[in-house]
Structure 1
Amino acid sequence: MNHRTDTSVTVIGLGLMGQALAGAFLKAGHPTTVWNRTASKADHLVAAGARLAPTVGDALKASSLTIICLTDYQAVYELLGAGEAELDGTMLVNLTSGTSAQARQAARWAAQRGARYLDGAIMAVPPAIGTAEAVILHSGPQADFEEHKPALDALGTVTYLGADHGLASLYDVAGLVMMWSILNAWLQGTALLRTAGVDAATYAPFARQVAAVVAGWLPGYAEQIDSGSFPAEVSALETDARAMEHLIEESEAVGVNAELPRLIKAMADRAIAAGHGGEQYPVLIGEFGRPHAG
């Protein structure tokens, strides 16, 4: 039996991402049923071989696996909570964006209605769906993930994170903060260098090299965080704080925004005031790990 194509799949929600998901299942050979509030969005998928379900209830019954990709979790409840939607015995994979708390609540809601449930997050743009570049995160019962992984593999690089339904959402936002932080640091440096006539394209290879070197520090720094011990093997936080002050002074002197370095310096100053000046940079996890009361 060909496990890649024998699973019937339903896709509920045909925005740009939902259309890409359904298209990837069709391309992989899965019998694919689709449903969308505006039925015309399914036209090109139907032309490619999909079946348009007349109702949400019919869409759920049509397949052994249902993928949900809607605007938000409230839309999921409104649609699947309707009288025609029979969830008992269904396998739901919710790729709607939301918070970890919403994911855990949705898992409880689905279980109360007899459904099995995986929550997920898509780390990709719609055109990448169906390629290895599309990373799709899943969290929930491992047995449910393993059973349906052969079908889910049609979407890209599918990854299982753990039994906690909230993990996919948390990894999603943790990935976003990495992305924005790298870009923000590069923009800060670019703004500084442009004051001396250096363009972004000239600086970018240097910035990329620095980012790669720093990325190499993460596993060792993670060991410090997990053990709660931060010996200053490379540099003490108080030394880093002096360099931060230099960055702030340079930014202000050349007329560049200094808000970002000032924010990080304020966090470092609080950690130093708490007695951590002689420890290494990851000791700042204490500041990141609690809400700022000031």
Structure 2
Amino acid sequence: MNIEPKQSDKQSPKQSVTVIGLGNLGQVLAEAFLKQGHRTTVWNRSPAKADSLVAKGAIRAATAAEAVAAGDLVIVCVLDYEAVREVLAPAADALAGRILINLTSGTPNPARELAAWATGHGAEYLDGAVYAVPQTIGTDEAFVLYSGSPAVFETYREQLNLLGSSTFVGTDAGLASVYDVALLSGMYGMFAGFFQAVALGDSAHIKATEITTLLVPWLNAAAAALPGFAQEIDSGDYTTETSNLDINTVGLANILSATRAQGVDVELLAPLHALFERQIEQGHGAASLSRAIESLRKTA
């Protein structure tokens, strides 16, 4: 498919944009394009959600098919991938020649399936993972990872950057979702440590705010070790003279023992200790802490 902007677009760089799905995020996505002068069409299954955008200059589409037909770029941001398919199915015939950008949160395989379905109907597809709260869309605080068509990403990078800093992570449409799940896993792991810390503090009548005041700078300092761990993991060289698995396994065992003595459950940290122990049982106690990844790697 030729995805060069149409001649009229070359004369004016303002592509027409459609935003389908007007929840909290969809609202600000549409506003970001409106603010930059793009002809912006909007559609939502609950039509009233378009009222405030129409008042700001957006065009309300009567149907999803009408919305798709109105935009060079069609951006979908709904609840899940099932909802994407439900919304777009009646508009399938209008997809030919369109650029479909899906910013709905999901998982890798549904992203790949949606990409195949969209391209099968003549559209070019990008899947995106948004890292922003709605109020930061369009600011330096927001960034979006994209996967799918590299030509689409390069052609429309300027428009995509209106939402946040854009990064292309690969041609596999599911890769943005893989990155998303990975980054969110790190976030939830941090939350797990936070909850464990607060629960332990609470057992000694220490307020959560007091623990957190000390915890945040400590976590920021500890995060500085991650790039070094990442280099070890990528190289496969886990040689260390400092933070090895033996030391950390003993330290974490002490933490678990003290936590239990305070009457606090250790279910959030115990699996990590078990991971360390598996590595030691395999004879890797002198290796870097980062070698724990080897007990998690996908097996052939």
What is the TM-score with the length of structure 2 in the denominator? Answer: 0.90
Match of 2:155 in 1: 147
What's the Cα RMSD here?
2.1
SS in 1 for 2:119: helix
Instruction: Give the % identical residues.
Output: 43
Asked if 1:239 corresponds to 2:251, the answer is no
Asked if 1:209 corresponds to 2:217, the answer is yes
The answer to whether the 8 A contact 1:99-1:169 is kept is yes
Match of 1:44 in 2: 52
In structure 1, what residue type is equivalent to 2:174?
Answer: G
SS in 2 for 1:82: helix
In structure 1, what residue type is equivalent to 2:266?
Answer: A
In structure 2, what residue type is equivalent to 1:209?
Answer: P
Match of 2:78 in 1: 70
Q: How much has 1:84 moved relative to structure 2?
A: 6.3
Match of 1:172 in 2: 180
Match of 1:11 in 2: 19
Asked if 1:99 corresponds to 2:107, the answer is yes
The answer to whether the 8 A contact 1:134-1:155 is kept is yes
Alpha-carbon displacement from aligned partner over 1:191-238 (angstroms, at most 9, x marks no partner): 323334433333324322221222111222112111212112312212
Q: How much has 1:4 moved relative to structure 2?
A: 9.6
* 1:229 aligns with one of 237, 247, 250: 237
Q: How much has 1:164 moved relative to structure 2?
A: 2.0
The answer to whether the 8 A contact 1:4-1:28 is kept is no
Q: How much has 1:259 moved relative to structure 2?
A: 1.3
The answer to whether the 8 A contact 1:141-1:163 is kept is yes
Q: How much has 1:124 moved relative to structure 2?
A: 1.8
The answer to whether the 8 A contact 2:42-2:50 is kept is yes
The answer to whether the 8 A contact 1:56-1:84 is kept is no
Unaligned runs of 5+ in 2: 1-8
Match of 1:25 in 2: 33
SS in 1 for 2:172: coil
Asked if 1:112 corresponds to 2:85, the answer is no
Asked if 1:289 corresponds to 2:287, the answer is no
In structure 2, what residue type is equivalent to 1:246?
Answer: N
In structure 2, what residue type is equivalent to 1:108?
Answer: A
Q: How much has 1:83 moved relative to structure 2?
A: 5.9
Match of 2:192 in 1: 184
Q: How much has 1:278 moved relative to structure 2?
A: 1.9
Asked if 1:126 corresponds to 2:144, the answer is no
SS in 2 for 1:37: coil
Q: How many matched pairs? A: 291
Unaligned runs of 5+ in 1: none
Q: How much has 1:253 moved relative to structure 2?
A: 0.9
The answer to whether the 8 A contact 2:193-2:269 is kept is no
Q: How far apart, in 2, do the equivalents of 1:84 and 1:208 lie?
A: 48
In structure 2, what residue type is equivalent to 1:252?
Answer: R
The answer to whether the 8 A contact 2:150-2:171 is kept is yes
In structure 1, what residue type is equivalent to 2:278?
Answer: R
Is the deviation greater in 218-227 or in 110-119?
218-227
What is the TM-score with the length of structure 1 in the denominator? Answer: 0.92
Alpha-carbon displacement from aligned partner over 1:88-127 (angstroms, at most 9, x marks no partner): 1110000111111111111111111111000001112222
Q: How far apart, in 1, do the equivalents of 2:158 and 2:76 lie?
A: 18
Q: How far apart, in 1, do the equivalents of 2:181 and 2:11 lie?
A: 32
In structure 2, what residue type is equivalent to 1:275?
Answer: G
The answer to whether the 8 A contact 2:68-2:91 is kept is no
Match of 2:145 in 1: 137
SS in 1 for 2:145: strand
